[in-house]
Amino acid sequence: MLISLPVTTQNTELTRPALTTLSEDERLFRDSVYEFADREIRPLVREMDEDAQISKPLVDKLFDLGVMGIEIPESFGGGGASLFHSVLAVEALSRVDPSIGVLVDVQNTLVINALLRWGNDDVKRRYLPPLALHTIGAYALSEAGAGSDAFALATRASERGDHWALSGRKLWITNGNEADLFIVFANINPEAGHRGITAFLVERSVAGFTVGKKEDKLGIRASSTCELLFEECLVPRANVLGEAGKGYKVAIETLNEGRIGIGAQMIGLAQGALDHAIKYIRERKQFGKAIAEFQAVQHQIARAATELEAARLMVYNAARLRDQQQPFLTEAAMCKIYSSEVAERVTSLAVNLYGGYGFVKDYPVEKLFRDAKIGQIYEGTSNLQLQTIAKQILG
C-alpha cells in the first residue's frame, strides 16, 4: 500500500504563521499511517523490544508504504511532500512504537533532508532513488568526546589522490545496524577547528569501514544504536556532501530540523501512553466503580491531555515554519524540549494509573516509559535546547 503524499503549497502572505491545524489530506495521511502501525507494527512491538531488533519484513513494508522517502521528489521515486508530512508519519508510528518512529525520522529529517539541501545533482541522482525504495540511511556525528560539543571531532580525513581516507570512531549512531548509507562527519584540517569539518557519504560496503558494537539500551531497544569504525576508509571525492570544510553548516542546519522530528516522536509516544491509560482506567474497578470515575484520576488525565495538546501544537508550528521558509530555530528547540518533558510525564502517569500492572512487561506502558527518556538526550540535550532558546531570546 503506497500512501499518497500531497505537496503542501506555501502561503507567502503570512510572515510568522502558526498553522497548527490539519487539512483534510494531512489528517487522512496521518490516520492512514497510524492504521498501518496499528495493524502491522503493534503485534511485533514486544518481540522487537525483547530481541532489540527491527523486523526486516516490517522495514520492507515501510518502504512499500512510502514513508521512507517522504520529501524525496517524485522524479527520484519519493513522495514529493513536506517536512510536515514526515512529522505526521513519525508521530503516527511512534504512537505504536517509538523505535519505528525514530527509524523513519532519521531517514527523513536527517539523511534525506541533508542530501536534498546539500547534495549536488550527481549525489541526488545516485542516492535519492535507493533511499526512497530500499536503502536505510544513518547520520554519524557523535563521538566519545564529541557529544554535546559536537565539533570536538577526533575522526580525521586525509587526502589520498582522488579519495579521502577516513580514520576514527563514531558512537551512538541510530540506524547503524540497518543502514547502507552513512553521512559521516570528519575533520580535514584540525588546525582550522570546526571550519575543517566535512560531511562524507560512506557506503556500508567500503573497505576500512566497520559497524561495531550495538548498544544494549534502556529504551527504544528495537532501534539500533551502534559504533562505527573507520580505518583508512577510502571515500571518493565525489562523495563529499556540500563543500569540504563546510560540514559544520550541514550538521547544524540539519539537526535543527531533526529536532522537530524528535518532537514528533515524543508526542506520538505520549499519545500512545495516554490511549492505553484511558482505556485501562475505564475498565479497572476499585471500591465498586471504574477508577475513571474518581475526580483525582480525571484531573490527572485532563492535565496530561492538555500538556500533550500544547506540545503537539508546538511541534506542528515549528514544522510549518520550516516548510514556509520562515525562521524556526527557537521553535524547534522549544518543541523538542517541551515534548520530551511531556512524554516523560505522561508515560509516568500511565504507569502510575496501571498500578502494579504498569510495572511489568505484560502491559505496554512500561515500555513507553523507558522509551520516553531518550527524548531529553539525543539530537541535542535539554540543556543545549535551553541554551539555544536563551541565545535567541537574549541575543
- CA separation, residue 59 to residues 22, 95, 202, 219 (Å): 27, 17, 21, 20
State the helix-helix crossing angle for 98-105 and 83-94, rounded to 10 degrees. 160
Contact 79, 72 (CB under 8 A): yes
Q: What is the DSSP string of 207-235?
A: TTEEEEEEP--SS-TTS-EEEEEEEEEEE
Parallel, antiparallel, or unpaired: how do β-strands 285-286 and 289-290 relate? antiparallel
CA 329 to chain centre: 17
User: Rounded distance, CA 100 to CA 250, Å?
Assistant: 25
Of 391, 250, 262, 375, which Cα lies nearest the Cα of 330? Answer: 391
Q: What is the number of other CB atoms lying within 10 angstroms of the CB of residue 130? A: 16
- CA separation, residue 263 to residues 149, 282, 363 (Å): 21, 29, 25
Active site residue 231: no
Place of cell 563514531: 170
Contact 142, 226 (CB under 8 A): no
Q: What is the DSSP string of 51-99?
A: HT---HHHHHHHHHHTTTSSSS-GGGTS----HHHHHHHHHHHHTT-HH
- CA separation, residue 3 to residues 74, 130, 356 (Å): 13, 18, 40
Q: Give the active site residues.
A: 379
